[in-house]
Amino acid sequence: MIKDILVRLDGTAQDDLRLAAADQLATTFSSHITALYFNVQSDLITAEAANEDGRAVEAAALARLQRLQPETHLRRFEVAGEEDVPDTAMRPARAADTFVELCPDSLSGTSERLIERLLFGAGRHLFLMPNELRPLSFLKHVIVAWNGSREAARAMAEAMPYLQLAEKVGILVVEGEKTTEEDRLMGNDAVQHLRHHGINAVKHRASGEEDETAGVLIEECGTLDATLLVMGSYGHSALHDLLPGSTTRRLLRRSPIPLVIAH
């Protein structure tokens, strides 16, 4: 189950988006929320000024946090610069069930480096929200993107608490134009595995070449009225080594629904 939720707060308006998602997860799973605030000690301002600014932002973050119903806690970390935030965040993330953050698009200001370090270093899944505030009904129809990879298997295992409570669950396989018998059977084992867990999953098939996978997944999720997409990180390399048009990067930047992503 999801019992320990981490969420980063930075004093911006995006905190409301992060907390809305964390609050709904905590309400659904009766979880504890721990908010992380990173006070950056910049060379451009004095330590005293940095601490004063940090106290103001921390107070605002704590006020937001205390408006939530579930049990909550705020942890403050002093960091020398923004570049130290990802490694600092990764350590508590290893002892939590999930880390709530916004998708790293042009509006959210979320650092791709933060997502990368959490995804490849924490060993737990991320719950990533699109950068817009709207009702979150993520358990209505959960879709698992399945390509038979280790990453897809990890993501499905991490997502089991969501899948067990979902109203509908689908396994979505994106096939190339030329499919083999093995391709046609892809996903059957995943469906059977979920059914052994009491989850009445169904398989969906879509067509698209490898460089079209992200677009196909987004389109199919729209067609199926999906409310949450579960996916592996689609590759062994870190995000900064992935091509700008890679499936993972495209989904992180363009997904209109929340993502549960694991490596």
- Residue extents of the structural domains in the chain: 4-129, 141-262
DSSP output for 142-201? EEEE--S-HHHHHHHHHTHHHHHH-SEEEEEEEE-SS--HHHHHTTHHHHHHHHHTT---
Q: What is the mean pLDDT of residues 31-35?
A: 94
77 CB neighbour count, 10 Å cutoff: 15
Predicted local distance difference test score (pLDDT) of residue 47: 54
Digit-coded pLDDT (tens) for 70-94: 678 899 999 988 899 999 999 999 9
Please report, as a single letter, which amino acid is at residue 21. A
Predicted local distance difference test score (pLDDT) of residue 64: 75
Model confidence, pTM: 0.89
Residues in CB range of 92: below 8 A, 6 or more apart: 6, 34, 36, 75
Nearest Cα to Cα of residue 2 among 99, 103, 97: 97
Written out in words, the top-level CATH class of the domain with range 141-262 is alpha beta
The top-scoring range by mean pLDDT among 8-12, 50-54, 186-190 is 186-190
CA quadruple 95, 7, 132, 217: dihedral, nearest 10:
-10
Q: Where are the beta strands (DSSP E) in 2-66?
A: 4-9, 32-40
* Token pair in block for residue 210: 């490898």
Average pLDDT, the chain: 86
Question: How would you classify the pairing of strands 32-40 and 4-9?
Answer: parallel
Per CATH, 4-129 and 141-262 having the same topology is answered yes
CA distance 228 to 130: 11
What's the Rg (C-alpha) of the chain?
19
Digit-coded pLDDT (tens) for 156-212: 999 999 999 999 999 999 987 777 777 788 899 999 999 999 999 999 999 887 778
| Bridge partners for 7 per DSSP | 35, 100
CA distance 9 to 101: 9
Burial per residue of 143-175, b for 16 or more beta-carbon CB atoms within 10 angstroms, e otherwise: bbbbbeeebbbbbbebbebbbebbebbbbbbbb
Looking at the chain, the number of H-run helices and the number of E-run strands are: 10, 10
Digit-coded pLDDT (tens) for 227-253: 999 999 865 455 544 444 578 888 888
Predicted local distance difference test score (pLDDT) of residue 243: 42
CATH 3.40.50.620, applies to 4-129 = yes
